[in-house]
Structure 1
Amino acid sequence: MQDFSFVAGDYDVIVIGAGHAGVEASLAAARLGCRTLMATLSMDNIALMPCNPSVGGPGKGHLVRELDALGGEMGVNADKTCIQFRLLNTGKGPAVHALRAQADKKRYQLQMKETCENTEYLDVKQLLITELLLTEDRDAVRGVRAETGEIYLAPVVVMATGTYLKGRIIIGETQYAGGPSGQRAAFSFSDSLARAGVALMRFKTGTPARVDARTLDFEEMEIQRGHEDAPNFSFLTEERTREQVPCYLTYTNEETHRILRENMGRAPMANGIIEGIGPRYCPSIETKILRFPGKDRHQLFLEPEGLHTNEIYVQGMSTSMPMDVQIAFLHTIPGLRHARVMRAGYAIEYDCIDPLQLKASLEFKAIRGFFSAGQANGTSGYEEAAAQGLIAGINAAMRIKGEKPLVLKRSEAYIGVLIDDLVTKGTNEPYRIMTSRAEYRLLLRQDNADLRLTPHGRRIGLVTNARWAKFEQKRAAIKGAMQELKERLIRPSQETNDRLEAAGLLPIKTAMPVGDLLRRQGVTYAHLAQVFSLAPLEKDVCEEVETMVRYEGYIQKQLDQVAHVERLEAKLLPESIDYADVPSLRDEAREKLAAIRPHSVGQASRISGVSPADVSVLLVYLEQRRRMRQGERGGETRV
């Protein structure tokens, strides 16, 4: 019998954790009118950046812009507090262009803390949650218990615990219980999850040393300046006025690698101290040395942690080596030969859940009202966490309101790719979003995130009137420009060709829509506006129009592919289906389908272990089921 004698509060939604997932979940739920409690281990570490002080990058920048288009906060906060912006992959196509920014990590935290504390319907409390409270039949949440005995009740709970569950810090042979950046770990809540029947995994991540900027020789490194013309993360931001600070590039060398190889026996990953599974795409420096024995150097980026600190983050050198080894190999690197370490690099092990237990809404299949988001779901990265947090917060509010959850498709958002990968395929290592994971990259560009997702945000209630007015203005400008480019014909007259040549463009030989000229190498909308007196466009509208025209054929091809896949997505699998009764399924497919319970044939087709032949069997089964039910209804009518 549970003791509810000390009920300290009653809410619609409780969010456990105030990292990047927790703040987005809390803000979304509160902004949608739900009385929300955000419980954090420390009021001083809301939106903490315990690893790299940056936002965005390939795939990750796409997530931030999508999150912003839906009405999330990370993009807005990054534009206010970041100190360098760069647009990556500009030498490649627009599908993989990616914005990345260096954050002033303390300003980022303080700004997000201020936003949370001043959001209506949101209470922020410093609490260590020790227990998930369930109903008597243990299939729905009732609330949470804190270590000090308070009970907070709510029909919906969002777990956004990051890397704090049974966290263990490892530096060489030194190990101790703790969360990131020396914070407390949470132990009892893991045990509570296990009692509730939640399957847990053990993962590991790490971070490099921070070094004192006053002890570095920047002249021995390559300067990496920001891009003044890089776009903003938020579609709402008008301009950035903050001065950009430089980063620096340097490299490891053979002496660095020799020291690491000679001490590999002392590496926790080699001597058995580390038990958790680490990230494949963000490996430690010792893992890089083992994995790429023939590579003679690895690049390192020296990134400032803020405007008012001397701490420099050594990006690319995550390590859990003993301190004498860390100092020794750092001093072999150009620019770091006299570096003083301010914070040691370390590994952290933590508990997380198997995400196959979740629906696409991020609600647990077996526990009503219980959602999970962020690194607790086996992902890595601030951006992945924030994206999940937003969706979990939205769907927590949708459950309270009795409305359908927001589930984004793979064809309309990287957020959809991220969540579908987690709940359909699971993960056996910390999951990181990458552009290569998306089948429809050309449709999911960072520049058109607002066109894809702002209508969703408006429908659910997160997009404000001001954002919607700005969005409609942009959408109308794009539509008008595209219409003029398609409908306005130009003919190969002497006057037309003289004007083209005067603008440095080749003459035309046949009549064509003026927009066809944009498909020529080096031709921009500005050129055409000059020659043919087209309406002037804002920079973001101009770039969108140019991309849509130049890649029209490729975009249409991907839209056709989406339409084909959508037919499978539309074929829903009954929740009551017993896969043991489906004839001709292979045993592996039967087992995977029964465990994951996909909602559609399309989702079933993406499950590892389900073959095209198994998909065909499901289609036949659904058709036979449909005909049988039709026959039963027809028989009842005849009687």
Structure 2
Amino acid sequence: MDFKYDIIVVGAGHAGCEAATAAANLGSKTLLITMDMNKIAQMSCNPAVGGIAKGQIVREIDALGGQMGIVSDKTAIQFRMLNRSKGPAMWSPRVQSDRIKFIEEWRSIIENTSNLYLWQDTVTALFFRNGEVTGVKTRMGVEFSAKSVVLTNGTFLNGLIHIGRVQMGGGRMSEPASAGMTEQLREIGFKTDRMKTGTPVRIDGRSVDFSLLEEQKGDNDFHKFSYMDRIQRELTQRSCWITYTSEEVHSLLRTGLSESPLYNGQIQSIGPRYCPSIETKIVTFAEKTSHQLFLEPEGETTHEYYLNGFSSSLPLQIQLNALQAIPAFRNVHIFRPGYAIEYDFFDPRQLNPTLETKLVRNLFFAGQINGTTGYEEAGGQGIVAGINAHINCHGGAPFTLRRDEAYIGVLIDDLITKGVDEPYRMFTSRAEYRILLRQDNADERLTQRAYRLGLATSERMNLLEEKQREVERIIDFARNFSVKADRINPYLETLQTAPLKHGVKLIELLTRPHIDLETMSHAIAPLREVLDSIKNRKEEIIESAEIKIKYEGYIKREKMMADKINRLEDIRIKDRFNYNAIQSLSTEARQKLTAINPETIAQASRIPGVSPNDISVLLVLLGR
């Protein structure tokens, strides 16, 4: 066994797995260290991937040549495209996954990735020399050396679990916490704090009265996460179920508030605003008489269910009493109560856009260690950290993503520029360029860049080029084909849409809300021939062409806005100013700019507390 590697990745969660496979696939000799090889990419909370904005991130990971989309498709037991009633900028894919098969699939990928090695152990310390990381030491006393180290410790750094007044050290239920790393990094100058997250009760489906629940079935169409056409959903699809809390449930929950770690002072750390515990909901939204709950299966065949919306750290008996007040759970048996967990994280403003730390060269942070929450946010950071760790070892330009290029770019820029005051979760509202960052076009945005790096395969690139050719062929046809009013009007009347007064190009007709390519192909034989000639991924290609046709004006306008802002992204200012010496800047701006040392004028403009006037001062100084 060798003890020298190009890259060591600490932690085999969603960030760690993406970082390790990306680095190894790029050619770096990579070691992935995990406490438990049987829990690789464990879904600690909800056994689901994707959702609002998160689904776009997974498609971006896939477009870059990452693995999360492939694993999610292969282990999906339900797929849904959320927000279909809204515009395509808001469409977000989501799957329920088989938790055990998800782990098995990831482990199979890791064990069959060249240049990637596993070691089961706990890292307790890092080695440094001349301002850069040189390796790690484990609990077993083993020392490994590396040119780069990626920390993806998740919730394990000094993790503490709470169930009522009961406290247990742990990174997840029944898994030990990791100690020593935070203290070592704090000693050399890193700023750290504590965060809190939680997870709901797990329920035995055999004790549930499903006749009292509302069934929620999945979609049965062509949509999926991976752009690889050979990857398909293979498992039996299962339903989710909906129910609601009540005033009686809320009254029972209130009886335990004095024993809730969130309200009795036991937990002092920062909790998530957008995924609150059930006790937080009944306090914050005291006027609401009910809250929606989703009962979600944990696997293809298991009786274990996850109760989404019932995250809690209340005492066990209080959780059980409240559940039994819901009619469908009157005779409920639970496998495990909900619990809260506190853990250490590091201020992400201590990172460069590559996710390399500013204090220590070749040391990268990715995932919940940066104050984020969610598998998808972790995976997106992981692949960027893994790529840049490889580049640091072997040379090349740093790999970063702009805000108009990817949700991953928005995520990382938000973290390193604004920091976090609660667990960071991605939403579509965080992105200025939602029309550009759609779930359908992540391959067009990112695959070519990943192919040039050597991460996306030629198979991926060929699929992208084929898709682009077919989409352009459809758009060219629609742009050039003339529709005669007298021939098409009888058909338009059957669709209950206004008849034409004169002939138009097909593309003009397709901009109507209720007109689409498939519908018009029933009346326009040449269009039918074009669509039928598409050999592969027909539905995906037609959908992509339609979005580009219908939203062409919006897309162009947003692209112009992005190009204007990107001119500021091109003005690099890192290390060019002594901000404390510029008296014409506001005091807050001097402090913030000094602390963050932004890469560009555009990044400086996004720092909270830096005003447009401060930016004008910097531009004047640059002009001089």
- Unpaired runs of 5+ residues, structure 1, are 1-6, 625-639
2:480 aligned residue: 487
Partner SS for 1:379: coil
SS in 2 for 1:87: strand
**Structure 1 residue 86 corresponds to structure 2 residue 73:** no
What's 1:508 paired with?
500
Gaps of 5+ in 2: none
CA distance in 1, matches of 2:494, 2:316: 66
> Mean Cα displacement is larger for which, 331-340 or 30-39?
331-340
Residue identity in the other structure for 1:564: K
Q: What is the distance in 2 between the residues matched to 1:466 and 1:181? A: 41
Q: Map of 1:150-169 to 2, 5 A cutoff?
A: 150-169=142-161
Task: Give the corresponding residue for 1:226.
Answer: 218
Query: How many angstroms apart in 2 are the aligned matches of 1:574 and 1:69?
Result: 30
- Is the CA contact (8 Å cut-off) linking 1:99 and 1:230 kept in structure 2? no
1:161-200 → structure 2 map (5 Å cutoff): 161-200=153-192
CA contact (8 A) 2:75 2:233 kept: no
Worse-matched range after superposition: 522-531 or 204-213: 522-531
Residue deviations 1:47-67 (CA, integer Å, cap 9, x gap): 001100101100110100011
What value does the CA root-mean-square deviation take over the aligned residues?
1.5
Aligned pairs for 1:614-633 within 5 A: 614-624=614-624
Residue pair 1:85, 1:230 contacting (<8 A) in 2 also: no
> 1:360, 1:458 → 2: CA distance?
21
Match of 1:354 in 2: 347
More deviation, 305-314/8-17 = 305-314
Matched residue, 1:280: 273
The answer to whether residue 555 in structure 2 is matched with residue 555 in structure 1 is yes
Check whether the contact 1:15–1:159 (CA below 8 A) recurs between aligned residues: yes
Please give the alpha-carbon distance, in whole angstroms, between the structure 2 residues aligned to 1:351 and 1:329: 31
Q: Report the number of matched residues.
A: 615
- Residue in 2 that maps onto 1:44: 38
Q: Report if the CA contact (8 A) 1:170-1:347 is conserved.
A: yes
| Residues 1:446 and 2:435 aligned together | no
Aligned to 1:476: 469
Q: 1:527 aligns with which of 519, 523, 529?
A: 519
Structure 2 residue 29 is the aligned partner of structure 1 residue 35: yes
Q: In percent, how many aligned pairs have the same letter?
A: 46
2:337 equivalent in structure 1: 344
The equivalences for 1:390-429 within 5 A come to 390-429=383-422
How big is the shift at 1:504?
7.1
Letter in 2 for 1:429: E
Counterpart for residue 235 of structure 2: 242
The alpha carbon displacement at 1:491 in A equals 4.2
TM-score by length of 2: 0.96
CA distance in 2, matches of 1:217, 1:441: 41
Number of the residue aligned with 1:205: 197
Partner residue, 2:581: 581
Does residue 299 (structure 1) correspond to residue 292 (structure 2)? The answer is yes
Within the alignment, does 1:11 sit opposite 2:11 as a pair? no
Instruction: Supply the distance in 2 between the matched residues of 1:510 and 1:404 (Cα, whole angstroms).
Output: 55
Give the residue type in structure 2 aligned to 1:48: Q
User: What's the counterpart of residue 540 of structure 2?
Assistant: 540
2:126 maps to amino acid: L
Aligned AA (1:58): I
1:569-602 deviation per Cα after TM superposition (whole angstroms, max 9, x unaligned): 1111041421023241000000000000101110
Q: CA deviation at 1:487?
A: 2.4
1:119 corresponds in structure 2 to 113
Partner of residue 518 from structure 1, selected from 504, 510, 514 = 510
| Matching residue of 1:633 | none
What is aligned with 2:613?
Answer: 613
Contact 1:41 1:127 (8 Å CA) reproduced: yes
Contact kept, 8 Å, 1:60 with 1:434, in 2: the verdict is yes
1:339 and 1:464 map into 2 onto residues whose CA distance is: 49
Query: Which has the higher mean CA deviation after the structures are superposed, 294-303 or 579-588?
Result: 579-588
Q: Deviations over 1:545-588 (max 9, x none)?
A: 11111111111111111122112111110414210232410000
Q: 1:348 to 1:496 in 2, by over 3 A?
A: closer
Describe the shift of the 1:304–1:460 C-alpha distance in structure 2 as closer, same or farther (beyond 3 A): same
Contact map agreement 2:75 2:234 (CA 8 A) in 1: no
Corresponding residue of 1:571: 571
Looking at structure 1, the residues matched to 204 and 494 of structure 2 have their Cα atoms a distance apart, in angstroms, of: 56
Of residues 479-488 and 438-447 in structure 1, the stretch that sits farther from structure 2 once superposed is: 479-488
1:350 partner letter? Y
Counterpart code for 1:572: R
Summarize deviations over 1:336-366 as a string: whole Å, max 9, x none: 1111111111110000110000011100012
Deviation at 1:502?
7.4
* 1:23 Cα deviation from its structure 2 partner: 0.3
Counterpart pick for 2:361 among 346, 358, 368 = 368
CA displacement, residues 128-169 of structure 1 (integer Å, 9 cap, x when unaligned): 00001100x3x1110101111111101100000000000001
SS at match of 2:74: helix
The whole-number CA distance in structure 1 between the counterparts of 2:494 and 2:323 is 58
Question: Would you say the 8 A contact 2:256–2:315 is kept in 1?
Answer: no
Amino acid of the structure 2 residue aligned with 1:83? I
> Secondary structure at 1:290's aligned position in 2?
helix
Give the match's secondary structure for 1:366: coil
Post-superposition offset of 1:127: 1.3
How far residue 398 of structure 1 moved from its aligned partner, in angstroms, is: 1.2
Range moving further from structure 2, 504-513 or 460-469:
504-513
Please give the alpha-carbon distance, in whole angstroms, between the structure 2 residues aligned to 1:503 and 1:182. Answer: 60
Shift in Å, 1:262: 2.3
Match of 1:4 in 2: none
Inter-CA distance 498–265: structure 2 relative to 1 (3 Å threshold): closer
Counterparts of 2:464 and 2:482, CA distance in 1: 29
Local SS of the residue matching 2:46: coil
- Secondary structure, counterpart of 2:279 in structure 1: helix
| Secondary structure in structure 2 of the residue aligned to 1:12 | strand
Cα gap change, 1:497 to 1:286, in 2 (>3 Å)? closer
Q: Deviations over 1:388-430 (max 9, x none)?
A: 0011001111111211121111011100010000000000111
TM-score by length of 1: 0.94
How far apart, in 1, do the equivalents of 2:234 and 2:507 lie? Answer: 35
What is the CA-CA distance between 1:433 and the residue it aligns to? 0.3
Q: What secondary structure does 1:71 align onto? A: coil
